[in-house]
């Protein structure tokens, strides 16, 4: 049985895991210490024949210590994590030249929008995928998260990425994956009856494979566009 986290496959994964294990070690030590003390006091000061209870009004020195020590630990953890937090969550610190897509969450599916031939999102040649993301390996990748109904949460644990998706907002989240393969995308926010079924697959491909896949999608889209134009020509309706 493996008690550790499953291997991470994103550039900032090891930093997240490191912070997690530091916090786990500190809280683990505190947990064991307090439990040992609890049982020690339970036994040491149990009710016994001929022993009278003693009352006291506390110990200022002990209180100052057990307030100061956690304060210092918590401030230390905050200082240790603020850099990682900024690097991961602050859009102004995102790596430049990232590949950008939009992911729209809705009850109960993920719709990914890719920029298409012009490389620009929210234009006519965008193409869409359902419950599936294609991602090139070793390249910064930004997912702009939007929701068309309730709050969802975009969760890919091997990337150590979890971000709430809030209606009315576009929340960018980035990652750079370091290993090809298929990874599970889940919704980590209870979002309704079908929440359990709101999952997808992230296909991480080599850059060559990704470009070939992208070209195929663009070509398919172009072919469909030509078919639409032909149909529109026949009926006189505007092409869409």
Query: Where along the sequence are the contacts to Cu ion (CB under 5 A)?
Result: 152, 187, 191, 198
Q: Which is nearer to Cu ion, 9 or 143 (CB)?
A: 143
Nearest-approach distance from CB 108 to Cu ion, in angstroms: 6
Q: Which helix (H) or strand (E) holds 228?
A: helix 207-235
Nearest-approach distance from CB 163 to Cu ion, in angstroms: 12
Q: How do strand 152-156 and strand 161-165 relate by DSSP bridges?
A: antiparallel
Q: How far apart are CA 123 and CA 115, in angstroms?
A: 7
Q: Which is nearer to Cu ion, 131 or 178 (CB)?
A: 131
| Residue 165, φ and ψ in degrees, nearest 5 | -115, 115
The SS3 of residue 60 is helix
Nearest-approach distance from CB 103 to Cu ion, in angstroms: 12
Q: Which is nearer to Cu ion, 198 or 204 (CB)?
A: 198
Q: Which is nearer to Cu ion, 141 or 154 (CB)?
A: 154
Sheet of 109-114: strand order equals 127-130, 109-114, 99-106, 141-147, 171-175
Q: Which is nearer to Cu ion, 197 or 211 (CB)?
A: 197
Asked whether the beta carbons of 176 and 158 are under 8 A apart, the reply is no
Nearest-approach distance from CB 105 to Cu ion, in angstroms: 6
Nearest-approach distance from CB 148 to Cu ion, in angstroms: 11
Q: How far apart are CA 56 and CA 45, in angstroms?
A: 14
């Amino acid at each position: 049985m493996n008690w550790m986290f499953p291997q991470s496959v994103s550039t900032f994964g090891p930093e997240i895991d490191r912070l997690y294990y530091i916090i786990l070690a500190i809280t683990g030590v505190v947990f064991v210490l307090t439990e040992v003390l609890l049982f020690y006091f339970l036994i040491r000061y149990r009710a016994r024949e001929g022993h009278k209870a003693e009352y006291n009004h506390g110990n200022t020195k002990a209180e100052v210590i057990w307030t100061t020590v956690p304060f210092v630990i918590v401030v230390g953890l905050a200082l240790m994590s603020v850099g990682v937090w900024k690097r991961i969550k602050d859009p102004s610190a995102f790596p430049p030249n990232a590949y950008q897509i939009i992911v729209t969450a809705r009850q109960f599916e993920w719709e990914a929008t890719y920029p298409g031939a012009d490389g620009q999102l929210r234009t006519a040649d965008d193409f869409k995928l359902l419950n599936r993301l294609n991602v090139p390996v070793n390249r910064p990748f930004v997912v702009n998260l939007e929701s068309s109904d309730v709050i969802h949460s975009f969760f890919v644990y091997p990337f150590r990425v979890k971000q709430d998706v809030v209606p009315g907002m576009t929340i960018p989240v980035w990652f750079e994956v370091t290993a090809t393969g298929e990874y599970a995308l889940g919704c980590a926010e209870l979002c309704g009856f079908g929440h359990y079924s709101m999952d997808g697959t992230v296909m991480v491909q080599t850059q060559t494979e990704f470009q070939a896949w992208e070209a195929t999608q663009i070509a398919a889209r172009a072919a469909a566009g030509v078919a639409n134009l032909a149909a529109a020509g026949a009926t006189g309706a505007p092409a869409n």
